Amino acid sequence: MSILIEDVSKRFGSFQAVDSVNLHIHSGKLVALLGPSGSGKSTLLRLIAGLETPDTGRIRISGKDMTYENVQSRGIGFVFQHYALFKHMTVRENVAFGLQIRKASRFYVRERVEELLDLVQLRGLGDRYPSQLSGGQRQRVALARTLAVNPQVLLLDEPFGALDAKVRKELRASLRHLHEKVNVTTVFVTHDQEEAMELADEIAVFNKGQVEQVGTPEDIYDHPATPFVMSFFGPVNVLSSAAGIFDLNHSESNNSHVFLRPHDVLIQTKAEETAVPAKVKRIVHLGWEVVVELSLRDGQLVTAQLTRDRFTQLQLLQEQSVYVKPKSAKTFPVGVQLTYT
Ligand SMILES: Nc1ncnc2c1ncn2[C@@H]1O[C@H](COP(=O)(O)OP(=O)(O)OP(=O)(O)O)[C@@H](O)[C@H]1O
């Protein structure tokens, strides 16, 4: 089931939470809404669910205008960060709940619940109560309970937000696995760039209520449309002038900022036509990678990230004179919003 968001806006008092958003979520895809806190992701999710009504625009699910339909008629399953399971019910009873309300036959409920417990890898825990489960297991029950009634669309609002890093990683893998099996159109809110990249078929990057870019994780990482998007996706050097890092014949004008990923800064010990002189200021060892801070000839600082092997090859020392050149860089005109902070 596809979801079409057409020019949707939502204001709370004088605050524009969602600002003229257009987004096409294709059937069967897992799409992440990614952005900093307060950028409007959850509000858009609530608008899709029917928990809020937009001020302007249309929301179509499978082609049907659902903008003013109530929550129940939208066929949507919702999982929140703190999903309240029924504490007095076992796992099995929790998963069965929606089916029993819909008066499904006892036989169907029994079969379906076991199938779902299998799907979320909780077979054998059906008789436990929520208090006897870990946080990750509870979110799996929440997913099974939501999927039990075959929603047309699954909406997840930071579902792993309250869990520790290791459990989050495990649950990401199981959500991806589950999505491949169930193939329900899924919209996932997160502020974690790595989570979005690992899970999503497509990412919509939010900033101040607007969508800055939509694309596959590779697309967005390799071809960020704006400085905001580039700086949101991992560390980046922002240089105020191109002259410091490009050789002087380079065509980049000084009316632009240069955005350069640390792993795209190449260091060498010998002079070369396109490399510019720099000095090693600081060396930080981080296990398999080494971060080197350099000062360029015009005083600008730039951070390079290299593998330990490459570092050992170069045998860099503090205050050493070296040569650097960008493997790849992006320039954005002066005057646009530079980063998300
Ligand atoms: N019901 C409401 N009444 C007033 N303001 C609201 C309401 N819901 C959301 N907002 C405001 O709208 C803005 C966007 O909120 P939203 O929850 O959509 O952001 P978000 O990107 O999901 O951020 P987070 O990750 O922190 O939840 C926030 O500044 C929030 O305070």
Q: Quick: pLDDT tens for 109-158.
A: 999 999 999 888 888 999 999 999 988 899 899 999 999 988 989 999 98
- Is pLDDT of 248 > 50? no
Q: What is the mean pLDDT of the chain?
A: 90
Do 254 and 241 touch, CB atoms closer than 8 A? Answer: yes
What pLDDT is attached to residue 274?
83
- Is pLDDT of 250 > 70? no
Q: What share of the chain is helix, strand, coil (3-state, %, to 5)?
A: 30, 30, 40
Residue 21 Cα to ligand 1 middle (Å): 15
Average pLDDT over residues 184-205: 94
Place of tokens 């929606």: 98
83 band by pLDDT with thresholds 50, 70 and 90: low
Instruction: Enumerate residues 6+ apart whose C-beta is below 8 A from 214.
Output: 23, 202, 203, 204, 205
- Is pLDDT of 283 > 90? yes
CATH 2.40.50.140 residue ranges of the chain are 237-333
Tell the residue nearest (CA) to atom 20 of ligand 1.
38
Tell the residue nearest (CA) to atom 2 of ligand 1.
12
Report pLDDT digits (tens) over 156-192: 998 887 778 888 888 888 888 889 988 899 999 999 9
Gap between the Cα atoms of 190 and 310, Å rounded: 34
Q: Which ligand 1 atom sits closest to the C-alpha of 209?
A: 14
Tokens of 130: 């929520």
Residue 39 Cα to ligand 1 middle (Å): 7
Is the CB of residue 190 below 6 angstroms from any atom belonging to ligand 1? no
Hey, which residues does 333 pair with through a beta bridge?
A: 256
Q: Which ligand 1 atom sits closest to the C-alpha of 52?
A: 1
Gap between the Cα atoms of 311 and 289, Å rounded: 9
Q: Which amino acid is at 128?
A: R
251 band by pLDDT with thresholds 50, 70 and 90: low
Q: Which ligand 1 atom sits closest to the C-alpha of 206?
A: 21
What pLDDT is attached to residue 256?
77
Q: Could you give the residue ranges of the DSSP H alpha helices within the chain?
A: 41-49, 91-101, 106-119, 135-147, 165-182, 193-199, 217-222, 227-232, 308-314
Q: Which ligand 1 atom sits closest to the C-alpha of 43?
A: 18
Hey, which residues does 3 pair with through a beta bridge?
A: 25, 61
CATH 3.40.50.300 residue ranges of the chain are 3-232
Q: Which of 237, 238, 245, 201 is nearest to 220 (CA)?
A: 201
Multiple choice CATH, 237-333, 2.40.50.140, 3.40.630.30, 3.40.50.300, 3.40.50.150: 2.40.50.140
Residue of 8, 18, 41 with the most ligand 1 atoms within 8 Å of its CB, for mutation: 41
**How many C-beta atoms surround the C-beta of residue 289 within 10 A?**
15
Q: Which ligand 1 atom sits closest to the C-alpha of 42?
A: 22
Average pLDDT over residues 255-273: 89
Residue of 21, 39, 43, 48 with the most ligand 1 atoms within 8 Å of its CB, for mutation: 43
Dihedral, CA of residue 72, residue 74, residue 75 and residue 79, to nearest 10: -80
Multiple choice CATH, 3-232, 3.55.40.20, 1.20.1260.10, 3.40.50.150, 3.40.50.300: 3.40.50.300
Half-sphere exposure of 246 (CA within 13 A, CB side): 21
What pLDDT is attached to residue 337?
60
Gap between the Cα atoms of 242 and 333, Å rounded: 11
Instruction: Enumerate residues 6+ apart whose C-beta is below 8 A from 285.
Output: 308
Report pLDDT digits (tens) over 4-55: 999 999 999 999 999 999 999 999 999 999 999 999 999 999 999 999 999 9
Residue 305 Cα to ligand 1 middle (Å): 36
Q: Which of 253, 247, 249, 270 is nearest to 326 (CA)?
A: 247
Is the CB of residue 34 below 6 angstroms from any atom belonging to ligand 1? no
Rounded to two decimals, the ipTM of the complex is: 0.92
Average pLDDT over residues 53-82: 91
Is the CB of residue 38 below 6 angstroms from any atom belonging to ligand 1? yes
What pLDDT is attached to residue 61?
94
Is the CB of residue 213 below 6 angstroms from any atom belonging to ligand 1? no
pTM attached to this predicted model: 0.87
266 band by pLDDT with thresholds 50, 70 and 90: very high
Q: Which ligand 1 atom sits closest to the C-alpha of 191?
A: 25
Tell the residue nearest (CA) to atom 22 of ligand 1.
42
Residue 182 Cα to ligand 1 middle (Å): 30
User: What is the DSSP-derived secondary structure letter of residue 274?
Assistant: T
What pLDDT is attached to residue 208?
95
Rg (CA), the chain: 25
